[in-house]
Amino acid sequence: MARSVIKLARCASVSSALCWQSGLIPSARLLVGHHYKPLQGIQMKKTVLITGASSGFGLMLANSLHKQGLNVIGTSREPEKYAGKVAFKLLRLNVDDDNSIQAFTDELFHHTQRLDVLVNNAGYMVTGIAEETSIELGRQQFETNFWGTVKVTNALLPHFRAQKSGQIITVSSIVGLIGPPNLSYYTASKHAVQGFFKSLRFELDQFNIKVSMVEPVWFKTNLGKNSVSASNGNIADYNIYRKQVNAATQRGMDDAEAPDAVINTISCLIKSKQPKFSNPVGKMTGMMLFLQSYAPKMFEGAILKSVKAEK
């Protein structure tokens, strides 16, 4: 991503007071520094399910919510690796496997009678020039990021409908709202997720099921470390550009800040009686989206210019 746009993607830590100022929590007295005290009453008893919670951002979010007094259940492809290492229940789930999703759903409700919040967090990132990315790799990106998210959500919707309440929070990305270079299939998968839940929220309103998206810019998580590169570069025409855009993408990840702002945003959404649907997180996200909508040539020019500036 272009340098000037990547600079926009540097997250400023969101202070706890922002939740109070925006009306997401009832009183600033609930706050201690940048951390939340456990809520009193019914919200202390909420059960939150987080997919992809064994490491990285999912683990940080799960630990934070657990410390706030929530009943947290996480998922992992290999939960046995983390036995005794986490303070919350960790269940087996591979979002790419239909049988795993069914077995997980059955097991989940042996551990809890009620589920209040689903946080869709599992996913990964494919990077690379679009033309150099195999269709198979692109298809797998969608299988995990889009279809995996949709299938897990669909498996749990009957329980939310039976309760006549629930909340679905999906960790998307700012690329679900914009389209940076070198991330074409990742961007497409996040646009698909964004569109799916944008429609689903209206269908679920009658059941008192709230739907929210969280769209972070770059943060220091395992996303970059666990990303999959599309190819070694096999089209000579892209040789110079590939080197530049890879450097721009890496710069965005290197300059990223800790994901406290994302964790705080999700915490605020869980506490809110009227959570917003779209929640971009990160420094200058508002300006980035404004320029894309109202000054697109300026927005596009900044990306093109900054990529070319990389050596």
User: In the chain, what's the furthest Cα-to-Cα distance?
Assistant: 62
Select which of 36, 124, 186, 241 is catalytic. 186
DSSP 8-class letter at 170: E
DSSP 8-class letter at 233: -
- Provide the Cα torsion 68, 71, 75, 78; round to 10°: 90
Residue 33 CB-density burial (10 A; 0-12 exposed, 13-18 middle, 19+ buried): exposed
Other CB atoms within a 10 A radius of the CB of residue 199 amount to: 9
Residue 271 to residue 283: CA distance in whole angstroms: 23
- Please state the φ and ψ torsions of residue 231, each to the nearest 5 degrees: -165, 175
| Strands of 178-221, DSSP E | 209-216
Pairing of strands 117-120, 71-76: unpaired
Other CB atoms within a 10 A radius of the CB of residue 191 amount to: 18
DSSP 8-class letter at 216: E
Is the separation of the CB atoms in 269 and 169 below 8 Å? Answer: yes
Other CB atoms within a 10 A radius of the CB of residue 299 amount to: 22
Residue 36 annotated in active site: no
Quote the tokens at residue 7. 């600079």
- Please state the φ and ψ torsions of residue 23, each to the nearest 5 degrees: 80, 15
Show Cβ contacts of residue 101 under 8 Å, excluding neighbours closer than 6 positions. Answer: 93, 94, 95, 151, 152, 155
Question: Which residues are part of the catalytic machinery?
Answer: 186
